[in-house]
A and B are shown apart, each in its own frame.
Chain A
């Protein structure tokens, strides 16, 4: 039986500093590993998510470096093609499902209750369950690399029949691990949505919520809507592989293209799942360091919602080259280009927020600014890819690789790093080391661009993705990409150093670590935030304009 906590008496005042003192409240948490295994505290679970995500980020990063090492020069140097395929596949799977998504969920766990003045997540035990499913899922996924025939080798999009008829035996384990990860995501999203809708401080309306909360509300909706579709499609793969069904086999009346429709019905909202919370983080950071209120709060909210709705209507743009009736191509092309409108609204608002602001360039702001510029580059190459006739040329080339890495690395990842730098003082009570942070930032920016910018050119010149060898004319671009990737990869060790130093000490941060220019509630609790905050809900005061 879980230990029970008696109902707490209503406190007279906000007990933001109440981790000690109030003898009534909490049993001493179990010590050691058990504390982390059994915890129901949103901050501890948030930290677990973030540490897990960082670990996966390095594992997925090592896989990427194996890929880049092999592509350093033409010919086959270091790995066999079969292993190369496993590395590209696992890199994608680990980064998408193991690094980026859990990082955002970790930030949500830490910050959403703090930003809405809630004592914890709405369903704390479910929260713990969502997290501990992840090590199980990814332990299983990584173990496929050691199985006979190797791990998944069909790309992170695992198109049938490559992933069914021609796949290694370990594919069944891959499917099962994806099921576990999917359950984790769905339960986590349900928890976040219930928290946001039900746990806001008295007086806080939906349109008073910080944008990080708003973007996560919409992201949770996307997660709950599309993760089950992924579960459905991998179940059909499982059936085709093990039970003789013909879902993706035309000989039996099925259709391999059906797989792509189902996958991208999940997959396109999935890419917004990985970017909307990033928008939220950047929308918190830019006003703070521009010392101005966010420009166009309401339009930011509506733009986020518009992007989410459109994301269900554009999956076909991943499939122009596979063959589709003309009407379908036109529909998906125009619907995709429409997304540029709300996205443009967002970029405009960030820039307008900075206009005539009193900007300073602390590490979170550096990453947020880089995000705005670099994500926009990724957005523009996305527009190019949306044009169906042009896409026939770009499809499956390094141009696509350049595009989605620009939105995911200097996009989603930089926003996560920006968020980490922004909230580290709140988590640890210390500012991150300035010098190291700046080195981390500049090496990351240089590394990222050196890695991914040349891929636009090699892609436009026709270099296909997911191939371990290439024609001689692509050699220079690939050399640059490989050098850049190693700069980027190794400079992330600086981030680990920053975190370790920040946890252990450093310049002490006050409650309002980044000044008075933000009204978000997390800055009203001490730094570091005590284990339990807002046990009595604070009264939300709408800031005067």
Chain B
């Protein structure tokens, strides 16, 4: 430990960031509760994005000035690692929901087990999954569900390939082959964009032809919360990778020191793993 740990002087981004986040949340609340305030929300959102961009820019500039030492690098690594762990737990809540609903709540509603008394509410109800006909007839379930072996399989292959192309890009960076790295990284970004586009098509299909909507009983709810938050993470991950591409083009990073790139790839692999779990539990089984 060199004794020169970089403690940044005062910064205006954190305070502005929390202000912007507050404005965004107030705007969101106004939109949801009072049906107005989208301007407030958009101003807040723009503020949040701007602060993130400028704050990260500061970090990049400081890093390129050589202000960070090995200890600082470790702080970033721990920080990113634990951040991804928090994301894992966020998704765990939704996966847990899906399992609880499938293996406990729905069978109970049909009269199974010690909590089967709930079957008195809807005596006609029979447990099945995907839940096409929810217990109460006032709630319409989905008309049909997606076959996992069409678009979802394509998307699985796309994301798994993107993890491989990203690893190739990373290896190339470590070898100092900047052009190779750039090309494979660009390929990864492209795969990410394809995934997002296909997911968009699937959502369109869900609403127009399949009757899978947010309101379509618990199946629609779990389907959209899992795929929706995952999709959001793919979008964020793709943006991060685009930033990394720009940094590669501008000749940032060295074969030895490129934690920004590594953190981006950690995040991408995490998003990929979540998808595999999602593919298996939401689509296949």
User: A residues bordering B, Cβ < 8 Å?
Assistant: 1-11, 26-27, 29-30, 34-35, 37-40, 118-120, 122-126, 128-129, 132-133, 135-137, 139-140, 169-170, 172-173, 176-177, 179-180, 183, 186, 189-191, 193-195, 197-199, 202, 224-229, 231-233, 235-236, 238-239, 241-247, 250-255, 257-258, 261-262, 265, 323-326, 532, 535-537
Are A244 and B215 also in contact (CB < 8 A) when A228-B86, A228-B89 are?
yes
Question: Which residues of A have CB within 8 Å of B108?
Answer: 255
Q: Are A243 and B105 in contact (CB under 8 A)?
A: no
Q: Give the interface SS of chain B, mostly helix, strand, loop or mixed.
A: helix
Q: Which of B3, B79, B94, B138 contacts A232 (CB 8 A)?
A: B94
Are A39 and B101 also in contact (CB < 8 A) when A10-B4, A228-B93 are?
no
CA A39 to CA B13, docked complex, whole Å: 11
23 contacts between A and B (CB under 8 A): A4-B67, A27-B10, A38-B11, A38-B12, A122-B79, A128-B15, A135-B18, A176-B25, A183-B21, A189-B82, A194-B75, A229-B93, A239-B221, A242-B32, A245-B221, A246-B134, A246-B139, A250-B109, A253-B101, A253-B131, A253-B218, A255-B105, A255-B108
Q: Are B121 and A250 in contact (CB under 8 A)?
A: yes
Identify the stretch in B112-120, B160-168, B188-196 within 8 Å (CB) of chain A at 4 or more residues: B112-120
CA A535 to CA B121, docked complex, whole Å: 67
Are A4 and B9 also in contact (CB < 8 A) when A122-B79, A133-B18, A169-B33 are?
yes
Q: Are A247 and B25 in contact (CB under 8 A)?
A: no
Q: Give the interface SS of chain A, mostly helix, strand, loop or mixed.
A: helix
Q: Are A9 and B10 in contact (CB under 8 A)?
A: no
CB nearest neighbor in A for B82: A190
Q: Which of A140, A235, A254 contacts B26 (CB 8 A)?
A: A140
Q: Are A39 and B10 in contact (CB under 8 A)?
A: yes
Of residues 36 through 88 on chain B, the ones whose CB sits less than 8 Å from some CB of chain A are 55, 58, 61-62, 65-67, 71, 74-75, 78-79, 82-83, 85-87
Q: Which of A224, A247, A254 contacts B85 (CB 8 A)?
A: A224
Q: Are A40 and B85 in contact (CB under 8 A)?
A: no
Question: Which residues of B have CB within 8 Å of A35?
Answer: 10
CA A123 to CA B15, docked complex, whole Å: 15
CB nearest neighbor in A for B23: A136
Q: Are B105 and A253 in contact (CB under 8 A)?
A: yes
Q: Are A198 and B75 in contact (CB under 8 A)?
A: yes
CA A325 to CA B105, docked complex, whole Å: 12
Are A252 and B136 also in contact (CB < 8 A) when A37-B15, A236-B225 are?
yes
Q: Are A5 and B97 in contact (CB under 8 A)?
A: no
Report the minimal beta-carbon distance from B143 to chain A, rounded to whole angstroms: 16
Produce 1/0 per residue, B202-245, CB < 8 A to A: 00000000000011011111101100000000000000000000
CB nearest neighbor in A for B97: A258
Q: Are B11 and A40 in contact (CB under 8 A)?
A: yes
Q: Which of B22, B104, B221 contacts A246 (CB 8 A)?
A: B221
Are A246 and B11 also in contact (CB < 8 A) when A251-B135, A262-B96 are?
no
Q: Are A124 and B87 in contact (CB under 8 A)?
A: no
Q: Are A129 and B18 in contact (CB under 8 A)?
A: yes
Report the minimal beta-carbon distance from A125 to chain B, rounded to whole angstroms: 5
Residue among A4, A173, A245 with most chain B CB within 10 A: A245
CA A232 to CA B66, docked complex, whole Å: 39
B5 close to chain A: CB less than 8 A: yes
CB nearest neighbor in A for B102: A253
Q: 10 tightest CB-CB pairs across the interface, nearest first?
A: A232-B93, A251-B136, A129-B14, A253-B218, A38-B10, A228-B90, A136-B22, A2-B11, A255-B105, A245-B221
CA A274 to CA B115, docked complex, whole Å: 34
CB nearest neighbor in B for A256: B105
Question: Which residues of A have CB within 8 Å of B280?
Answer: none
Q: Are A254 and B218 in contact (CB under 8 A)?
A: yes
Report the minimal beta-carbon distance from B221 to chain A, rounded to whole angstroms: 4
CB nearest neighbor in B for A128: B14
CA A424 to CA B278, docked complex, whole Å: 51
Are A198 and B220 also in contact (CB < 8 A) when A30-B10, A140-B25, A180-B22 are?
no
Q: Which of A139, A170, A226 contacts B33 (CB 8 A)?
A: A170
Question: Which residues of A have CB within 8 Å of B220?
Answer: 245-246
Are A251 and B114 also in contact (CB < 8 A) when A132-B15, A197-B78 are?
no
Report the minimal beta-carbon distance from A265 to chain B, rounded to whole angstroms: 8
CA A254 to CA B79, docked complex, whole Å: 36
